[in-house]
Amino acid sequence: MATLYGVGVGPGDPLLITLKACQLIANTKVVSYLANDKGESQAAFIAREAFAQVTHKQLHIAIPMPMSTDRTLANKAYDTGAQSIAEQLSAGNDVVFLCEGDPLFFGSFSYLLERLQGQHKIHVVPGVSSVHAAAAALQLPLTLQRESFAVISGRHSDLQIRRALLEHDSLVIMKAGQARVRILALLAETKRTEQANYLEYISRDNQLINTDVDSLEVAAGPYFSLFVVTKNRQQVRDSA
* Mode of pairing for the β-strands spanning 196-200 and 95-99: unpaired
Gap between the Cα atoms of 154 and 2, Å rounded: 38
- pLDDT over 70 for what percent of the chain? 96
Q: Which of 72, 100, 128 is at the close of a domain?
A: 128
Q: For 192-216, what is each residue's pLDDT tens digit?
A: 999 999 999 999 999 999 999 999 9
Same domain, 109 and 162: no
SS3 230: coil
Q: For 168-182, what is each residue's pLDDT tens digit?
A: 999 999 999 999 999
Same domain, 159 and 105: no
Nearest to 9 by CA among 129, 91, 186, 187: 129
The reported pLDDT for the residue numbered 85 is 97
Gap between the Cα atoms of 189 and 223, Å rounded: 24
- pLDDT over 90 for what percent of the chain? 88
Same domain, 48 and 160: no
Gap between the Cα atoms of 124 and 112, Å rounded: 12
Same domain, 58 and 160: no
φ and ψ of 78, to 5 deg: -70, -35
pLDDT at 145 over 90: no
Provide the domain limits for residue 215.
131-239
Same domain, 108 and 147: no
Q: Please provide the DSSP assignment of 193-227 as one string.
A: GGGEEEEESTTSTT-EEES-GGGS-SS---SSEEE
Domain count, the chain: 2
Same domain, 10 and 124: yes
Gap between the Cα atoms of 45 and 33, Å rounded: 10
The reported pLDDT for the residue numbered 231 is 85
Same domain, 94 and 25: yes
Same domain, 123 and 143: no
Nearest to 144 by CA among 234, 211, 212, 11: 234
Same domain, 164 and 202: yes
The reported pLDDT for the residue numbered 235 is 44
CATH number for the domain spanning 50: value is: 3.40.1010.10
Same domain, 7 and 123: yes
Same domain, 137 and 103: no
Same domain, 118 and 166: no
Higher pLDDT, 25 or 71: 25
Q: Which of 94, 128, 162 is at the close of a domain?
A: 128
Q: Please provide the DSSP assignment of 123-154 as one string.
A: EEE----HHHHHHHHHT--S--TT--EEEEET
As a whole number, mean pLDDT of residues 24-34 equals: 97
CATH number for the domain spanning 177: value is: 3.30.950.10
As a whole number, mean pLDDT of residues 60-68 equals: 88
Q: Which of 70, 94, 128 is at the close of a domain?
A: 128
